[in-house]
């Protein structure tokens, strides 16, 4: 991977374009090229990190994926484009640009090890694996942002969670640098998360239990990040995370999937997941215990199997109307 100080002029929305929205000017972009050593489904791998179509931290503009993040070295905006030869070109702006570029391979699944995965245990998994050789598990290595976004999604619909995430990050995050195609924002700092007033959580549409949990974990945020990052494996990270009040197995798994690309994480307690796994692997709905039993032959790769099931196209017929969430913000 090579880095230079020249611009990526081929990226849409590049340095000639202006926006009426004020943004920090961090000068010329850093550049890199990443050449994957394996087949890579670039968009599907990287965009797994997006939290809904309106996510202020991640968007697309044609063939370019834009991502705003708060790195250990400061805010950064990353623009990614895959060339016709399968090379991923990246440009980054902001104080954290160097860190964002160095983390690019991990974001594209470079650290995802599939060597011990046995897809042939089940024909559906084997077929999905054969048809999707470029599936990789992405990781951001940004623990607190992953934890906060997972807490937003506890026990609510995706529409509710993504809407609240969009509002809070836009209101209290930091404007992303660089020539973004629309205004983008990096998530708040840990200090800023705990300083968000109660009225803002309410106006954003986040339920009080989730808002309290975000504030409580932010009060120990730095220590949580240090402890989890020092953990040797996924099981140790799991124990640390579930020891936090308001954080259970589902939130822990979702956090580890996004932050560390944990190939074995299973979001136990999900409203739909056990039904989907049971229907795909056994032809009938099951509960969490049944799901874990069905996934047991792939210990170490259970998240990978779940992702492949999602790509298989096998779905149980819908049983009723979609839940319409109640909007309580005007109360």
Residues 6+ apart with CB under 8 A from 195: none
Domain presence at residue 235: no
Domain presence at residue 56: yes
SS3 276: helix
Q: What is the pLDDT of residue 175?
A: 97
0.85 exceeded by the pTM? yes
Domain presence at residue 297: no
Contact, 80 vs 90, CB < 8 A? yes
Domain presence at residue 43: yes
Per-residue pLDDT tens listing for the chain (331 residues): 443 333 333 343 333 333 335 666 667 899 999 999 999 999 999 999 999 999 999 999 999 999 999 999 999 999 999 999 999 999 999 999 999 999 999 999 999 999 999 999 999 999 999 999 999 999 999 999 999 999 999 988 889 999 999 999 999 999 999 999 999 999 999 999 999 999 999 999 999 999 999 999 999 999 999 999 999 899 999 999 999 999 999 999 999 999 999 999 999 999 899 999 999 999 999 999 999 999 999 999 999 999 999 999 998 876 655 555 555 555 5
Residues 6+ apart with CB under 8 A from 115: none
pLDDT 10s digits, 273-325: 999 999 999 999 999 999 999 999 999 999 999 999 999 999 887 665 555 55
Q: What is the pLDDT of residue 6?
A: 34
Q: What is the pLDDT of residue 13?
A: 35
Number of independent structural domains in the chain:
1
Domain that holds residue 115: 31-131
Distances from the Cα of 251 to the Cαs of 152, 211, 269, 288, 308, in angstroms?
Answer: 9, 14, 9, 15, 21
Distance from the Cα of residue 269 to its chain's centroid:
19
Residues 6+ apart with CB under 8 A from 3: 30, 31, 32, 98, 101
For position 63, which CATH number holds? 3.30.310.20
Q: What is the pLDDT of residue 20?
A: 37
Domain presence at residue 78: yes
Domain presence at residue 40: yes
Domain presence at residue 303: no
Cα(175)–Cα(185) distance, rounded to whole angstroms?
4
B/e letters for 288-315, b = 16+ CB within 10 Å, e = fewer, are bebbbebbeebeebbbbbbbbbbebeee
Domain presence at residue 102: yes
Q: What is the pLDDT of residue 27?
A: 73
């Amino acid at each position: 991977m090579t880095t230079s100080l020249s611009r990526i002029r081929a990226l849409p929305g590049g340095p000639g374009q202006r926006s009426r929205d004020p943004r920090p000017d961090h000068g010329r972009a850093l550049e890199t090229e990443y050449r994957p050593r394996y087949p890579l489904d670039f968009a599907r791998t990287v965009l797994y990190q997006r939290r809904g179509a309106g996510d202020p931290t991640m968007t697309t503009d044609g063939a370019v994926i834009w991502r705003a993040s708060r790195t250990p070295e400061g805010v950064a905006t990353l623009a990614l484009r895959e060339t016709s030869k399968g090379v991923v070109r990246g440009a980054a702006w902001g104080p954290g640009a160097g860190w964002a570029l160095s983390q690019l391979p991990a974001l594209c699944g470079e650290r995802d090890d599939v060597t011990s995965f046995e897809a042939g245990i089940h024909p559906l998994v084997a077929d999905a694996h054969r048809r999707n050789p470029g599936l990789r598990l992405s990781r951001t290595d940004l623990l607190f942002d992953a934890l906060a976004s997972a807490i937003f999604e506890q026990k609510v619909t995706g529409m509710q969670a993504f809407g609240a995430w969009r509002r809070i990050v836009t209101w209290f995050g930091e404007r992303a640098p660089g020539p973004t195609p629309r205004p983008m924002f990096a998530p708040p700092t840990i200090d800023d998360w705990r300083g968000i007033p109660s009225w803002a959580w309410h106006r954003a549409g986040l339920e009080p239990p989730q808002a309290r949990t975000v504030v409580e974990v932010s009060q120990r945020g730095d220590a949580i990040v240090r402890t989890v990052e020092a953990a040797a494996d996924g099981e140790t990270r799991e124990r640390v995370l579930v020891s936090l009040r308001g954080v259970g197995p589902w939130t822990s798994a979702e956090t580890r999937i996004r932050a560390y690309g944990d190939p074995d994480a299973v979001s136990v307690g999900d409203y739909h997941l056990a039904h989907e796994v049971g229907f795909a692997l056994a032809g009938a709905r099951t509960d969490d215990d049944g799901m874990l039993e069905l996934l047991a032959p792939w210990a170490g790769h259970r998240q990978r199997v779940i992702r492949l099931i999602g790509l298989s196209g096998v779905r149980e017929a819908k049983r009723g109307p979609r839940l319409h969430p109640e909007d309580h913000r005007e109360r």
